[in-house]
Amino acid sequence: MIKILVTGGTIDKQYNPLNGELIFSKTSVEEMLAQSRNTVETELEVLMLKDSLEMQDQDREMLSMACNKSQETKIVITHGTDTMVESAQEIAAHLATDKTVVLLGAMVPYQFKQSDALFNLGCAISAVQILKPGVYVTMNGQVFDHKEVVKNRAIGEFVART
């Protein structure tokens, strides 16, 4: 059983035809899992639907607590890319030693034809079942330990921290 915590981010942005803006209305993660023909048992919890640039300390605390409260030891988190690493570090600072947490997001929302959402979700779902306890980020096909990754905003890619 995998716990999936939803926090928002680009992956879940939807188009509002009335004003032409990208907004949050409801998560598409269940739709993604259905398209993926996923049969791993999952329990979905929507903690918030936020652009990660607008996440506050208290949001990250709530996320960290949700990881610790979770009965499942395998946890996948959908998250905005801009502060994904900060959240990973906050979670790691407080995490019980038996838990594996994998964060993912998308550079292009799932609702777009050219979205990387499903690929990234696949990376996270399989990684969380294999990795030893710890906090990780799966973006761009790579599996990063939370201490070793940074988002390079100029190119829009996650890279090894130098």
Binding site for its own copies (CB under 8 A): 10, 13, 15, 17-18, 20, 22, 32-33, 35-40, 51, 107-109, 111-116, 118-127, 129-131, 138-143, 153-157, 159
- Closer residue to its own copies in complex, CB, 64/128: 128
- Closer residue to its own copies in complex, CB, 97/155: 155
- In the bound complex, what is the minimum distance in angstroms from residue 65's beta carbon to its own copies? 26
- Closer residue to its own copies in complex, CB, 52/70: 52
Per-residue 3-state assignment (H helix, E strand, C coil) for 61-81: HHHHHHHHHCCCCEEEEECCC
- In the bound complex, what is the minimum distance in angstroms from residue 135's beta carbon to its own copies? 15
Give the residue from 61, 66, 69 showing the smallest Cα distance to 87.
Answer: 61
Look up residue 67 and give its amino acid. Answer: C
Please give the backbone phi and psi of residue 57, each rounded to the nearest 5 degrees, phi first.
Answer: -50, -40
- Closer residue to its own copies in complex, CB, 41/58: 41
- In the bound complex, what is the minimum distance in angstroms from residue 3's beta carbon to its own copies? 14
How far does Cα 96 stand from its chain's mean position?
19
- Closer residue to its own copies in complex, CB, 30/61: 30
- Count CA within 13 A, CB hemisphere, residue 13: 20
* Token couple for 124: 């996270």
Angstrom distance (rounded) from CA 135 to CA 44: 19
- In the bound complex, what is the minimum distance in angstroms from residue 90's beta carbon to its own copies? 22
* Token couple for 15: 């188009």
- In the bound complex, what is the minimum distance in angstroms from residue 15's beta carbon to its own copies? 6
